[in-house]
């Protein structure tokens, strides 16, 4: 009875505290020291309790480049980056986003992963937009591990690749719709005419069909295809911009294969890609993805093996989206073994593109 009474009193006191308005919620004034310590203590333990214990190999140039490219567009605005400070607006948030170069060493890989994936309540740190794309999140963690050692020049090399972002003169800056940081530049990751992607984790868009390119961007924009990296970028594009981009990349000549996959057997992959495995209910890949397939489907020849493997793995795990193409590939990918994924990826990575389907209707 006394216990019930005590609990009742506690609840009533807490209610009165909130009802009275005594506590100041203004971001312009910090928390009381004790409150701040308590919140931090709770946050850190919550993260530690939930973080995964294992991580993939993060010392991986492809992962780091992809992470850097995303960091530049997705994180630097709030957290700053080597050579640029965060916006003053952001600095007046409570809590204000920390300078990550100083902080990342406090966390394990798993904890960073958890923070990037789930974000933090009441701290302005958003969750990863595609909760089923752990592979992308690890690329950000891989980059964060490099961050403390980067200066401005190396950062730019990683984040911008060879994209020039001087943005023209003052007039252009003052009057045109432009992006002084080059955040939206596709070429930072995917390359452009004659130059392939910076990382083997993204597709080569050069010479793909316009239909497929446009459909992919629309799917990202609508959230029907999941990617924490591509969704925000595509969502910012207007329909005309999508058409223009698709036309641009479709018109570029396909690139010669230059990937040297370490895993998988090209011969086995060729068998699977050309004949399928009827016993395991796997159709031949080239029926759709070969040189005379429908423009609704991507050409896989010459694509990086790691990109193909990651996509197949995402589909196989039942992830990646709700788009019509996803609905076709997910059940097929689910029937593939790890070895088959490696083989078939190796095969396509070794293939030269035949013809130039990009501008076909």
Q: Footprint of another protein on this chain (CB under 8 A)?
A: 215, 276, 278-279, 281-285, 287-288, 292-294, 296-297, 324-325, 327-332
Which residue, 31 or 289, has its beta carbon nearer to another protein?
A: 289
Which residue, 240 or 292, has its beta carbon nearer to another protein?
A: 292
Which residue, 16 or 354, has its beta carbon nearer to another protein?
A: 354
CB of 128 to another protein, least distance (A): 25
Dist. CA 136–CA 311, nearest whole Å: 11
Dist. CA 196–CA 207, nearest whole Å: 12
Which residue, 44 or 281, has its beta carbon nearer to another protein?
A: 281
CB of 280 to another protein, least distance (A): 9
Retrieve residue 71's tokens: 């960091």
Which residue, 145 or 326, has its beta carbon nearer to another protein?
A: 326
Retrieve residue 82's tokens: 């080597």
CB of 43 to another protein, least distance (A): 26
**H-state helical runs in the chain:** 2-20, 33-50, 61-74, 76-79, 88-91, 100-103, 109-118, 134-146, 152-160, 170-175, 187-190, 210-222, 230-235, 239-251, 266-275, 286-289, 305-316, 324-333, 338-349
Any idea what the Cα angle at residue 39 is, between residues 34 and 41, rounded to 5°? 95
CB of 157 to another protein, least distance (A): 39
CB of 214 to another protein, least distance (A): 13
**Is the distance from CB of 314 to CB of 320 less than 8 angstroms?**
yes
Which residue, 76 or 301, has its beta carbon nearer to another protein?
A: 301
Which residue, 45 or 322, has its beta carbon nearer to another protein?
A: 322
CB of 209 to another protein, least distance (A): 12
Per the document, the length of the chain is 361
**Is the distance from CB of 113 to CB of 51 less than 8 angstroms?**
yes
CB of 8 to another protein, least distance (A): 24
**C-alpha 7, offset from chain centre:** 47
CB of 324 to another protein, least distance (A): 4
Which residue, 103 or 289, has its beta carbon nearer to another protein?
A: 289
By the 10 Å C-beta count (0-12 exposed, 13-18 middle, 19+ buried), 165 is classed as middle
Buried b (16+ CB within 10 A) or exposed e, 84-102: eebeeeeeeeebbbeebbe
Which residue, 119 or 324, has its beta carbon nearer to another protein?
A: 324
| DSSP annotation of 162 | T
Dist. CA 68–CA 147, nearest whole Å: 9
**Is the distance from CB of 224 to CB of 322 less than 8 angstroms?**
yes
CB of 215 to another protein, least distance (A): 8
| DSSP annotation of 358 | G
CB of 285 to another protein, least distance (A): 8
Any idea what the Cα angle at residue 172 is, between residues 170 and 175, rounded to 5°? 105
Which residue, 21 or 278, has its beta carbon nearer to another protein?
A: 278
């Amino acid at each position: 009875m006394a216990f019930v009474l005590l609990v009742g009193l506690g609840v009533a006191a807490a209610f009165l505290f909130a009802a009275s308005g005594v506590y100041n919620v203004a971001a312009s004034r910090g928390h009381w020291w004790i409150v701040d310590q308590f919140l931090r203590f709770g946050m850190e333990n919550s993260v530690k309790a939930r973080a995964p214990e294992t991580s993939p190999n993060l010392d991986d140039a492809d992962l780091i480049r992809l992470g850097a490219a995303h960091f530049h567009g997705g994180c630097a605005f709030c957290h700053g980056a080597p050579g640029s400070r965060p916006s003053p607006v952001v600095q007046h948030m409570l809590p204000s986003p920390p300078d990550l170069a100083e902080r990342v060493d406090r966390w394990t890989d798993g904890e960073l992963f958890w923070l990037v994936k789930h974000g933090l309540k009441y701290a302005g740190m958003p969750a990863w937009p595609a909760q089923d794309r752990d592979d992308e999140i690890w690329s950000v963690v891989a980059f964060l591990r490099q961050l403390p050692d980067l200066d401005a020049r190396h950062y730019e090399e990683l984040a911008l690749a060879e994209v020039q972002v001087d943005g023209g003169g003052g007039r252009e800056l003052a009057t045109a719709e432009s992006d002084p940081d080059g955040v939206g530049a596709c070429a930072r990751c995917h390359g452009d005419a004659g130059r392939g992607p910076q990382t083997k984790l993204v597709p080569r868009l050069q010479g793909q069909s316009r239909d497929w390119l446009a459909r992919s961007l629309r799917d990202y924009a609508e959230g029907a295809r999941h990617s924490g990296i591509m969704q925000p970028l595509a969502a910012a594009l207007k329909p005309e911009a999508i058409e223009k981009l698709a036309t641009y990349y479709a018109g570029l000549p396909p690139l010669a294969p230059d990937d040297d996959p370490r895993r998988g057997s090209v011969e086995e992959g060729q068998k699977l890609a050309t004949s399928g495995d009827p016993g395991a209910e796997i159709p031949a890949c080239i029926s759709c993805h070969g040189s005379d397939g429908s423009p609704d489907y991507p050409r896989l020849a010459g694509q990086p093996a790691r990109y193909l493997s990651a996509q197949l793995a995402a589909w196989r795990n039942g992830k990646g989206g709700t788009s019509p193409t996803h609905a076709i590939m997910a059940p097929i990918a689910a029937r593939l073994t790890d070895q088959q994924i490696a083989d078939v990826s190796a095969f396509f990575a070794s293939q030269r593109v035949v013809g130039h389907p990009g501008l076909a209707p």
